[in-house]
Each structure stands twice: as structure tokens, then as C-alpha cells.
Amino acid sequence: MRDYIRRRVVEVSTYIVENKATVRQAASVFGVSKSTVHKDVTERLPRVSKELARQVKRVLDHNKAERHLRGGEATRRKYRREKKAS
């Protein structure tokens, strides 16, 4: 693995753990695609640091479990804005 990729993998993973960030949030902060972040943390990270990989997996599993709640909240905000506009 190239050095700059290894560095990015560790930085992205540390960011996710420290901020309890989603893949989308991390991708936005680091200027890469969601696919890149996902590949970094699921395939590349375990080769770099197994413990950090476990921590990231815990955060991502938590985010996945709450995903339906965030989506529902976003929909509710959308319809409230539309109702106020009319």
C-alpha cells in the first residue's frame, strides 16, 4: 500500500472514531468519495491497524443502526419547510 494511502486511511479512520462521523461526513471532510472512505475503512484499515478497524466498525455499525432515524428526521424537516412555504 502506498504511503499516502496508508496515511489517508489512518486519518479518515481516526476522524470517524473521534467525531462519530458517518462515511458521508468523512468523505466530505477529506474530499474523497464515499466509496473510497468505505474501501479504506473496510478493506485497507484492517491491514494497517486491527484495533482502529474495530473502533471504526463499532461507530459505523452504530450509524447504520440509526440510519432510519436520521432519514425520517430529514423527511420531517423537508415537509415542515414545504408546509411553511405554502
Residues near 13 by beta carbon (within 8 Å), at least 6 away in sequence:
40, 41, 45, 49, 52, 53, 55, 56
Would you state the torsion angle of the CA atoms of residues 57, 39, 25, 20, taken in this order, to the nearest 10 degrees? 10
Q: Which grid coordinates belong to 30? A: 477529506
pLDDT for the residue numbered 66: 83
pLDDT for the residue numbered 38: 96
Model-wide pTM > 0.85: no
pLDDT for the residue numbered 19: 97
- Sign, Cα dihedral of 29, 27, 48, 2: negative
Average pLDDT over residues 1-21: 96
Average pLDDT over residues 40-58: 97
pLDDT for the residue numbered 49: 96
Average pLDDT over residues 49-55: 97
Domain locations in the chain? Answer: 3-85
Q: Which grid coordinates belong to 39? A: 474501501
H or E stretch including 66? helix 50-85
